[in-house]
Structure 1
Amino acid sequence: MTQARTFGELKRAGVRSVAVKEEMRRNLVRKLEAGETLFPGILGYDESVIPQVANAVLSRHNMILLGLRGQAKSRLLRSLTTLLDPALPMVAGCEIHDDPFRPLCRRCRDLMAERGNETPIAWLSPDDRYVEKLATPDVTIADIIGDVDPIRAARGGHDLASELTMHYGLLPRAHRGIFALNELPDLAGRIQVGLFNILQEGDVQIKGYPVRLPIDVAMVFTANPEDYTARGKIITPLKDRIGSEVRTHYPATVEQGVAITQQEAWTERGRELRVPRYIREVAEGIAFAARRDKKIDKRSGVSQRLPISALENAISNAERRAVLRQETLVVPRVSDIYAALPSLTGKFELEYEGELMGADNVARELIRASVGEAFSVYLGSADLRPVVAFFESGAHLKVRDDAGSDELVSQLGRVPGLFEALSHVGIQNSDPPAVIASAAEFVLEGLYGQKKIGRSDDRGFTAPERHAEAEIDLERLERLRRMKKQVN
């Protein structure tokens, strides 16, 4: 169908105005009836967040997404544009996307009175109708709502009281669309007060003009929990005016996290790349371990960006090694995850105990714990006693993270029973050396993660450390304590 170019053509085509929230509701119902995915690319929210967002849209509510960092809040808001019509008519040249059937601004009212059915029409795409602003303490009412524009008044010869001198803020410019405000608590309290009218009465008033503009807009917000941000809060009357509060969350399972990281991580590097499943699970497990760790601030959260950055950095380390060793196949190893420390240490905030240990040591502990958990999944039933016995006999094995695949396979072949266990990871003898080397190192790192063998700082695998205190008879120790108390 050819798009109308004038108001007359638009009327003859039978086009009619629909409020933006009603438009979103209608398109959502159509998607539900057709069994379509509501928000493509948003993973892990199918049974929690997305149904609540859908209910808010069906209720024609303004909404806020509340959750910790790295929970796809902004992406979910941007995905709301999929609920808008493919094209929407507007009065051509209007700053606030005026509806030709109900023009708001003085310029469009005058234009339509003058030209009538010949008024030119332009068309908006869904992306044109989405306006986003990051709330910062320096945001003003003029930025959001608007102000008097004395320069426009001077150039046009208008009186300052004329509506033609209005400078529209971001909110009026989102008319007939979606206005998203990120990090709402960072917005100054007096600016939050300025949003009362649009959320309740559906209109705004620009400073100095006795005109209420009935803006048609869907308002959406994001925020971190207030007890974490500590930079501000959402004032109670504003919270009361927001129809729905939807709480986001981190992936519930490692499998969900792996799917998200696989979707988001940049892995197309030009060389042939094979990322083993266990490497993906180790990278993901770091975030899960961090979210449980007492040394890491729970209120701050551990962003989903952590495993994404860790995997990208690990692949880069493997890629660098492949280039240096002139290998065509890039296969990340666990040692590459350790090399990705710079992509981990800035992604979490430490409690006092963690500060004493240092971010690098905490990150290494998290990697070790994650490797140990992945090892249990893949090799929990494998007979690795010959491998452990090899190191307990006094043998040690120093593995360099920049060793070529053939060199590493030859080196690891000294360990009895190691290659026989690789079938549990899905490795066959016909696999390339890079794949075998990665899997064999994973087995050794897993044994180290479960404290069945030891490893020195320079990455030499050895017998497990024997701590004298681990061999103390706890019952005898308690008896000695009681005797000491009696003596005192």
Structure 2
Amino acid sequence: MDNAARIETLGQLREAGYRPRTVKAEIRENLLERLRSGQPAFPGIVGFDDTVLPELETALLAGHDFVLLGERGQGKTRVMRTLAGLLDEWSPSVAGCEIDDEPSAPVCLRCRRLAEEAGEDLPIVWRHRDERYTEKLATPDTSVGDLVGDVDPVKVAQGRTLGDPETVHYGLVPRSNRGIFGLNELPDLAERIQVALFNVLEERDIQVRGYSLRLPLDVLLVATANPEDYTNRGRIITPLKDRFGAEIRTHYPLDVEDEVELVGQEAQPVAEVPEHLVEVVARFTRALRESPSVDQRSGVSARLAIAAVEAIGASALRRSARTADPEQVARVCDVPGVIPTLLGKVEFEMGEEGREREVLEHLLRVAVAETFRSRLGGLDLAGFTDRFAEGAVVETGELVPAAELLDQLGGVPGLSKVLDRLGDGDSASRGHVAAAVELVLEGLHLTRRIDKRSADTPDGRVVYEA
């Protein structure tokens, strides 16, 4: 509400025309408003527009609790967290209430008694939408008390009897009342603990130990899970699956463009990584997801691509520091250095033991070649090949500054067209020119138009020649 800051009591709230809604009705109305206006309902979610998001919108409009099912690194948690953006920016609740009761119809014993005493002067507070989203990572040691509640020994020690409902310490689910509760990795929750969620999803209430306590809850419950054939750690028990309104399957980006956009959005490199190198990483990640050498049941997380781009940026920063190169721009020579970073992120098939690095290096070369063809295919690169035919030799590597690389090659006809294709144009810095030149050299080598060999130097330099 626009004048929320001035409203401090239930009476003022009613005078302002406040209309109470359930959290699912609130989300439904706000989602419909965004769909009608064309505003993005789930900002930052890439590659799901025609697949996951229509199913997600249907589930939310229907008022269903749901499970997001998919392999690791498919953005399930990211989707879950964006749901908070569909809540009202500010929402009133009874001041001091542990479960953020609705002021006009409180449900907990303490707030009902306070409402009877204070009437229209019942004090209220305003909560931001971010405070109405609660997330819990399910672990085998999670207890019913963590999720639902238990006896509070402090309150008992203060003199209250065990039969007093006010001795209850509410768990995370009731504390998410009138909000969203996200449960990550639901199958990891012990089966006997999953049973505690039955009433929350069906009867919309909780029961705590032996108390005669029925607490109606207003909550949207969303969970994430990996496919059961991969997570042998546990499963979602059938009665609980039946209580969820929908099961929405996520996936990795279907197009290279979506993968590039996703990595560019999430990665935070410490030096500049040109877009063609982000495309190399995106194509490399997709190749891993299709490779028979990789265990596809475990998936290849988007976090792999993000970590790779950040490692490439770190290599460029290291070169700048070691060689006093003012250009902190990544090049193709920085790409192979990411392999040690990635070895722990990919699970290989049994028969590939000992060949892991070889598989990664091969797929990385393929990704560079595909990016070269995609970005520079059909372009006349005779200016480069002619230079090598005339006897030019270019030595490069992780510790070769951009200026040194460009001085070796000299002026090359057609370089400006390469820069235009890569989106740099006339404004390209020496670092970007060097990055473009290295892509051309490596592409010409991978398409067998020039040779490449290791230089006899301790810092791992390579030599391009005819």
Counterpart residue type for residue 181 of structure 1: L
Residue 63 of structure 1 and its aligned partner are, at CA, apart by 0.9
Mapped to 2, the partners of 1:46 and 1:159 lie a distance apart of 55
**2:122 aligns to what?**
119
Residue 212 of structure 1 and its aligned partner are, at CA, apart by 1.6
Mapped to 2, the partners of 1:379 and 1:42 lie a distance apart of 30
Q: Within 5 Å, which residues of 2 pair with 1:379-458? A: 379-383=376-380, 398-413=395-410, 422=418, 425=422, 431-450=428-447, 453=450, 455-456=452-453, 458=460
Larger radius of gyration: 1
Residue 114 of structure 1 and its aligned partner are, at CA, apart by 2.1
SS in structure 2 of the partner of residue 93 of structure 1 = coil
* Structure-2 change in CA distance of 1:392 and 1:292 (3 Å): farther
Mapped to 1, the partners of 2:11 and 2:416 lie a distance apart of 79
Q: Is the 8 A contact 2:69 2:227 kept in 1?
A: yes
Q: Within 5 Å, which residues of 2 pair with 1:87-486? A: 87-155=90-158, 157-267=159-269, 269=270, 274-358=272-356, 360-383=357-380, 398-413=395-410, 422=418, 425=422, 431-450=428-447, 453=450, 455-456=452-453, 458-461=460-463
* Structure-2 change in CA distance of 1:400 and 1:166 (3 Å): same
* Structure-2 change in CA distance of 1:451 and 1:141 (3 Å): farther
Q: Is the 8 A contact 1:318 1:330 kept in 2?
A: yes
Residue 425 of structure 1 and its aligned partner are, at CA, apart by 4.5
Mapped to 1, the partners of 2:387 and 2:354 lie a distance apart of 36
Mapped to 1, the partners of 2:105 and 2:448 lie a distance apart of 72
**2:13 aligns to what?**
10
Mapped to 1, the partners of 2:86 and 2:43 lie a distance apart of 12
Q: Is the 8 A contact 1:91 1:120 kept in 2?
A: yes
Residue 431 of structure 1 and its aligned partner are, at CA, apart by 4.3
Mapped to 2, the partners of 1:430 and 1:90 lie a distance apart of 56
Counterpart residue type for residue 46 of structure 1: D
Counterpart residue type for residue 328 of structure 1: P
Counterpart residue type for residue 261 of structure 2: A
* Structure-2 change in CA distance of 1:340 and 1:33 (3 Å): same
Is 1:72–2:75 an aligned residue pair?
yes
Counterpart residue type for residue 296 of structure 1: V
Mapped to 2, the partners of 1:427 and 1:98 lie a distance apart of 56
Counterpart residue type for residue 304 of structure 1: A
Q: Is the 8 A contact 1:453 1:462 kept in 2?
A: yes
SS in structure 1 of the partner of residue 335 of structure 2 = helix
Mapped to 2, the partners of 1:426 and 1:158 lie a distance apart of 72
* Structure-2 change in CA distance of 1:430 and 1:110 (3 Å): closer
Counterpart residue type for residue 148 of structure 1: V
* Structure-2 change in CA distance of 1:428 and 1:205 (3 Å): closer
Mapped to 2, the partners of 1:426 and 1:72 lie a distance apart of 29
Residue 427 of structure 1 and its aligned partner are, at CA, apart by 6.5
Q: Deviations over 1:194-219 (max 9, x none)?
A: 11111111111111212221111101
Counterpart residue type for residue 147 of structure 2: I
**2:57 aligns to what?**
54
TM-score normalized by the length of structure 1? 0.87
* Structure-2 change in CA distance of 1:14 and 1:203 (3 Å): same
**2:457 aligns to what?**
none
Residue 392 of structure 1 and its aligned partner are, at CA, apart by 9.4
Q: Deviations over 1:212-237 (max 9, x none)?
A: 21111101011111111111111111
Mapped to 2, the partners of 1:422 and 1:463 lie a distance apart of 20
Mapped to 2, the partners of 1:75 and 1:4 lie a distance apart of 34
**1:28 aligns to what?**
31
Counterpart residue type for residue 138 of structure 1: D
* Structure-2 change in CA distance of 1:112 and 1:426 (3 Å): closer
TM-score normalized by the length of structure 2? 0.91
SS in structure 2 of the partner of residue 133 of structure 1 = strand
Mapped to 1, the partners of 2:392 and 2:375 lie a distance apart of 25
Residue 384 of structure 1 and its aligned partner are, at CA, apart by 5.2
* Structure-2 change in CA distance of 1:265 and 1:23 (3 Å): same
Q: Is the 8 A contact 2:183 2:222 kept in 1?
A: yes
Q: Is the 8 A contact 1:136 1:186 kept in 2?
A: yes
Mapped to 1, the partners of 2:166 and 2:425 lie a distance apart of 75
Q: Is the 8 A contact 2:416 2:425 kept in 1?
A: no
Residue 246 of structure 1 and its aligned partner are, at CA, apart by 1.0
* Identity value in percent: 45
Counterpart residue type for residue 229 of structure 1: T
Bigger CA drift: 185-194 or 405-414? 405-414
Mapped to 1, the partners of 2:52 and 2:448 lie a distance apart of 39
